Amino acid sequence: MIFPAQFVCFATPSAPEWPDGIDASITASYLAVVLGIPLLGYVVMVLDFRRYLRSLRRALVVVSRAATSVPYWALLERPACLRAFDLKLPCTETDVLAAYREKAKTLHPDRGGDLQQFLRLQKHLEEALELVRSHNAPVDASL
- pTM > 0.75: yes or no: no
- Output the pLDDT for position 13: 58
What is the distance between the alpha carbons of residues 124 and 84, in angstroms, rounded to a whole number?
Answer: 7
Cβ contacts of 90 within 8 Å, gap of 6 or more = 135, 136
Q: What is the mean pLDDT of residues 103-112?
A: 88
Task: Taking residues 113-129, report their average pLDDT.
Answer: 91
CA–CA dist 39, 32 (Å, integer) = 10
**pLDDT value at residue 78:** 76
pLDDT in tens, 67-89: 666 566 665 677 888 888 888 87
* Tally of residues, the chain: 143
Query: Which conformational region is residue 92 in: left (phi greater than 0), alpha (psi within -120 to 50 degrees), or beta?
Result: beta
Cα 104 from Cα 121, distance rounded (Å): 8
Q: Which fold has domain 72-136?
A: Helix Hairpins (1.10.287)
Mean pLDDT taken over the chain: 80
1-45 pLDDT tens trace: 555 555 555 555 565 676 677 888 899 999 999 999 989 988 888
**What residue ranges in the chain does DSSP mark as E strands?**
none
Q: DSSP class of residue 137?
A: S
